[in-house]
Amino acid sequence: MSTIAQKRGFASTVWDYLTTVDHKKIAILYLIAGGIFFLMGGVEAMMIRAQLAVPNNDFVSAGLFNELLTMHGTTMIFLAAMPLLLAFMNAIMPLQIGARDVAFPFVNALGFWLFFFGGLFLNLSWFLGGAPDAGWTSYASLSLASEGHGIDFYALGLQISGFGTLMGGINFLVTIINMRAPGMTYMRMPLFTWTTFVASALILFAFPPLTASIFMLTFDRMFGANFFNVAAGGNTIIWEHFFWIFGHPEVYILILPAFGIFSEIFSTFSRKRLFGYSSMVFATVLIGFLGFMVWAHHMFTVGLGPVANAIFAVATMAIAVPTGIKIFNWLLTIWGGSIKFTVPMLYAVAFIPSFVAGGVTGVMQAVAPADYQYHDSYFIVAHFHYVIVGGVVFALLAGTHFYWPKMFGTMLSEKIGKFTFVFFFIGFHLTFFVQHFLGLMGMPRRVWTFLPGQGLDTGNLVSSIGAAFMAVGVISLLINVVITSVKNERVGNDPWEDGRTLEWAISSPAPFYNFKQLPLVRGLDAYWLEKMEGKTTLTPAEPIGDIHMPNSSFVPFVISLGLFIAAFGAMYHVDDKAWALPVLIGGLVITFGAMIYRSLKDDHGFHIHKEELMEENDDKGVKA
Amino acid sequence: MVNNQSNSNNPRLNYDYRRKKNAEGMRIQVATFTLMIFFTVVSFVAVAADFSKWFVVPFILLLAVVQVGFQLYYFMHMSEKGHEAPSLFMWSGVTIAFVTVLAFMTIIWW
């Protein structure tokens, strides 16, 4: 194996990505797959807004509308936002802690392919008799009554992709605990690494309830169980509890890495150390902890009783405190800084007021009696889009611009980036701000159409126009990506010139072994420290030596493919199709066969030899 | 003496200290093992003696919790250095599971 890049054909590149276990390539896979699902979720959103643009519209049928809103929510949360965050975690976190890869590269690849096949399975429902139509929450009584295979696609697809996410979370935890470079103590870890760590812990604890509840749903729908069937002695409320025990931490799984990305951006472009670093870490951990104590605030109107409602209301309001700590820390990071308004910084600055607006409506809803008014209205829709778009999507767009050079070695155009920002920012507020008032005026969420002359016409039209603005923003980002890739102007190690953390000390994109010599970390913002002492490279912690690397493997793809095939068998088993059971068994045989192959066949990886690494030094005249 | 490795090649290094430490560890293990057998006997007796189930069930659960603690901290050496991260995650998991079960017991199946 040579370390020198060679010209490759298209097929060999595809094969390379199908078998890769390199965290940087898996990050690119996550970015592409997550990006495609993001576009699909966006198209669904545009169709929803087109339907609601004018009263009494019949652009889509009521049934199709239910499918669109369900798939929009499910796709955006599970298949777009989370994988895109996993893309940045994969690409950046190992570099930030000075590691050569994640702890389990094979499992990392397996996690991606499970997510991909799960998402593919879910979206095939469009072509195979109808998508799920019970909302992304898929409340049990409704989802059990849903006809066709839509909910089966939801249950099996999310189960498979959930396995992948769980593996990703465990992998990051082990990586951060065990693979930090010498001197990289916990309290020297960059904030994005910290938020990755806490979000991974949340994944570890939040996904098992989802897995359990989806198993129960699967068995209720496909194998004749009655967990949620009240008529047969089950309890439909259990689904809601399980779903939100997962679902509430899930929103923190999304927002915490977003906070991490913004923390990096604020300190980089204010050219200041992050204000209140230790309180930021404390607030992150506290949010993660409290995130598990508040799930029932999604269920105030279920009838839990005043005591339970009061407890969960107070716990919910408590979360505003650590979040407030973060907001003030960001403001004080910018305060007095030498600020550079690059595209990532624009998103970061726009994020603060947008997210605070969403947070304030969140505290309003935490007041349980008031929530009876807001519940299931467009006010809720406005609230969670303010926190998820204003928080997570802004972070994803900011992160795309900020980390693009580190992932691909080219800079996205700042000019087009600003165009994207302006359209997306204006469109976002245009779409969702007015929805607060639509909700307060009584427009229920998930409604297919509305009557004219009830004061809802103008607001809905404004909202739909805003959605078009956001679409223009996203399209301009795609154009930006194409132009940048075609131009292919390579950049150096530290293209933003103000990089503070380890990833900016190595080439863009990083060499496949990341660090020739593991760096010695001497404080927070390790690379910045070195730069302040007039150096351009990191202090090495070890002499140049052989580097042990894992071999590529096609097995993760096969394991995931097996589950994908088995899912079809499980689903059509209900229809008494003769081929269903053999397909179910066949798929599982493929999966477990591939696992056995992996277990029995020794794969020791390979070494990059010291001489090769030294040679490369001489060739390029630069040090890693 | 696998539990306290040193990175020195000298087998005599800290020999007395390690010997003392291991003897102490062994003593604690034997003591907890005895206690665990005792707990088991007490549980059986509690059931056999036909006490009210409102006493027996919580009592056995309490003994079980103590046993799990013994198992983790004395037999699996969780109290020793280098086990901070696993113990943090185990306790977080226990807390979350407890809150979930508590909520289910109080607001769903009350």
Tell me: the pLDDT tens digits for A72-107?
999 999 999 999 999 999 999 999 999 999 999 999
Interface test with A, best of B101, B107, B109 (most A CBs within 10 A): B107
Size of interface A-B (CB pairs under 8 A): 28
Q: Is A140 an interface residue toward B (CB < 8 Å)?
A: no
User: Of B96, B99, B108, which is closest to A237 when you measure between CB atoms?
Assistant: B108
Domain A10-553+603-620: which CATH number of 1.20.150.20, 3.30.450.20, 1.10.230.10, 1.20.210.10: 1.20.210.10
Percent of chain A residues past pLDDT 90, beyond the cut: 91
Q: Is A72 an interface residue toward B (CB < 8 Å)?
A: no
User: Of B89, B100, B107, which is closest to A308 when you measure between CB atoms?
Assistant: B107
Per-residue model confidence (pLDDT) at position B4: 53
Q: Is A302 an interface residue toward B (CB < 8 Å)?
A: no
Q: Is A236 an interface residue toward B (CB < 8 Å)?
A: no
Percent of chain A residues past pLDDT 70, beyond the cut: 97
Per-residue model confidence (pLDDT) at position B110: 61
**Least confidently predicted of A190-194, A316-320, B53-57:** B53-57
The structure tokens 């990755």 sit at: A196
Residues of chain A positioned with their CB less than 8 A from the CB of B93? 205
> Which backbone phi and psi does A349 adopt, to 5 degrees?
-70, -40
Residues of chain B positioned with their CB less than 8 A from the CB of A308? 103, 106-107
Please indicate whether, in this complex, the C-beta atoms of A204 and B96 are within 8 angstroms of each other.
no
Residues of chain B positioned with their CB less than 8 A from the CB of A238? 104, 108
Ranges of each domain in chain A:
10-553+603-620
Per-residue model confidence (pLDDT) at position B104: 87
Please indicate whether, in this complex, the C-beta atoms of A209 and B104 are within 8 angstroms of each other.
no
Q: Is A292 an interface residue toward B (CB < 8 Å)?
A: yes
Whether residue B109 has pLDDT greater than 80: no
Contact between residue A250 and residue A203 where contact means Cβ atoms under 8 Å apart: no
Cα of A574 to nearest chain B Cα, Å: 31
Contact between residue A503 and residue A510 where contact means Cβ atoms under 8 Å apart: yes
Q: Is A296 an interface residue toward B (CB < 8 Å)?
A: yes
Per-residue model confidence (pLDDT) at position A360: 95
The pLDDT tens digits of the residues spanning A485-506 come to 999 999 999 999 999 999 999 9
Q: Which two tokens stand for residue A48?
A: 């929803």
The pLDDT tens digits of the residues spanning A55-69 come to 999 999 999 999 999
The structure tokens 């696992």 sit at: A595
pLDDT band at A576; cut points 50, 70, 90: confident
Whether residue B8 has pLDDT greater than 80: no
Please indicate whether, in this complex, the C-beta atoms of A241 and B108 are within 8 angstroms of each other.
yes
Distance CA A323, CA A329 (A): 10
Whether residue A151 has pLDDT greater than 90: yes
Helix (H, G, I), strand (E, B) or coil at A607: strand
Interface test with A, best of B96, B102, B104 (most A CBs within 10 A): B96
The pLDDT tens digits of the residues spanning A37-47 come to 999 999 999 99
pLDDT band at A617; cut points 50, 70, 90: low
The structure tokens 């050496």 sit at: B77
Whether residue A535 has pLDDT greater than 50: yes
Distance CA A233, CA B109 (A): 13
Whether residue A358 has pLDDT greater than 60: yes
Instruction: Determine if the peptide bond prior to A209 is cis (ω within 30°).
Output: no
The pLDDT tens digits of the residues spanning B65-91 come to 999 888 888 888 887 778 888 888 998
Q: Is A238 an interface residue toward B (CB < 8 Å)?
A: yes
A615 or A31: whose pLDDT is higher? A31
**Least confidently predicted of A176-180, A246-250, A620-624, B5-9:** A620-624
User: Of A177, A209, A238, which is closest to B85 when you measure between CB atoms?
Assistant: A177
Q: Which two tokens stand for residue A279?
A: 């309180």
The alpha carbons of chain A give a radius of gyration, in whole angstroms, of 25
Please indicate whether, in this complex, the C-beta atoms of B100 and A209 are within 8 angstroms of each other.
yes
Whether residue A469 has pLDDT greater than 50: yes
Quick count: other Cβ atoms within 10 Å of Cβ A357? Answer: 19
Q: Which two tokens stand for residue A44?
A: 């669904």
User: Of B92, B106, B108, which is closest to A205 when you measure between CB atoms?
Assistant: B92
Q: Is B98 an interface residue toward A (CB < 8 Å)?
A: no
Q: What is the mean pLDDT of chain B?
A: 84
User: Of B89, B100, B107, which is closest to A305 when you measure between CB atoms?
Assistant: B107
Whether residue B108 has pLDDT greater than 60: yes
Q: What is the mean pLDDT of residues A546-562?
A: 95
Whether residue B3 has pLDDT greater than 60: no
Give the containing element (helix H, strand E) for B20: helix B15-48
In this structure, is the dihedral angle defined by the CA atoms of residues A464, A467, A471 and A476, taken in order, positive or negative? positive
Distance CA A195, CA A263 (A): 10
Residues of chain A positioned with their CB less than 8 A from the CB of B85? 177
Residues of chain A positioned with their CB less than 8 A from the CB of B102? none
Q: Which two tokens stand for residue A14?
A: 């595809």
Please indicate whether, in this complex, the C-beta atoms of A304 and B107 are within 8 angstroms of each other.
yes
Whether residue B6 has pLDDT greater than 90: no
Contact between residue A34 and residue A393 where contact means Cβ atoms under 8 Å apart: no
Q: Which two tokens stand for residue A302?
A: 């279920």
Per-residue model confidence (pLDDT) at position B69: 87
A 463-502 residues inside an 8 A Cβ radius of B: none
**Least confidently predicted of A295-304, B2-11, B44-53:** B2-11
Residues of chain A positioned with their CB less than 8 A from the CB of B106? 308
Whether residue B53 has pLDDT greater than 70: yes
Half-sphere exposure of A295 (CA within 13 A, CB side): 23
User: Of B99, B106, B108, which is closest to A292 when you measure between CB atoms?
Assistant: B99
User: Of A177, A292, A304, which is closest to B96 when you measure between CB atoms?
Assistant: A292
Q: Is B107 an interface residue toward A (CB < 8 Å)?
A: yes
User: Of B85, B100, B106, which is closest to A245 when you measure between CB atoms?
Assistant: B100
User: Of B89, B99, B106, which is closest to A293 when you measure between CB atoms?
Assistant: B99
Cα of B101 to nearest chain A Cα, Å: 11
Q: Exposure pattern of B98-108 as b/e (b: 16+ CB <10 Å)?
A: eebeebbeebe
Nearest CA to A76 among A437, A448, A474? A474
Please indicate whether, in this complex, the C-beta atoms of B89 and A304 are within 8 angstroms of each other.
no
Q: Is B89 an interface residue toward A (CB < 8 Å)?
A: yes
Per-residue model confidence (pLDDT) at position B5: 57
Contact between residue A459 and residue A436 where contact means Cβ atoms under 8 Å apart: no
Please indicate whether, in this complex, the C-beta atoms of A304 and B93 are within 8 angstroms of each other.
no
Please indicate whether, in this complex, the C-beta atoms of A241 and B104 are within 8 angstroms of each other.
yes
The structure tokens 């192959």 sit at: A597
Per-residue model confidence (pLDDT) at position A621: 44
In this structure, is the dihedral angle defined by the CA atoms of residues A102, A107, A113 and A115, taken in order, positive or negative? negative
Please indicate whether, in this complex, the C-beta atoms of A204 and B89 are within 8 angstroms of each other.
yes
Residues of chain A positioned with their CB less than 8 A from the CB of B92? 201, 205, 289
Nearest CA to A396 among A257, A192, A266? A257
The structure tokens 């300190």 sit at: A267
Per-residue model confidence (pLDDT) at position B18: 83
Whether residue A4 has pLDDT greater than 80: no
User: Could you tell me whether strands A547-549 and A606-608 are parallel, antiparallel, or unpaired per DSSP bridges?
Assistant: antiparallel
The alpha carbons of chain B give a radius of gyration, in whole angstroms, of 20
Q: What is the mean pLDDT of residues A380-395?
A: 96
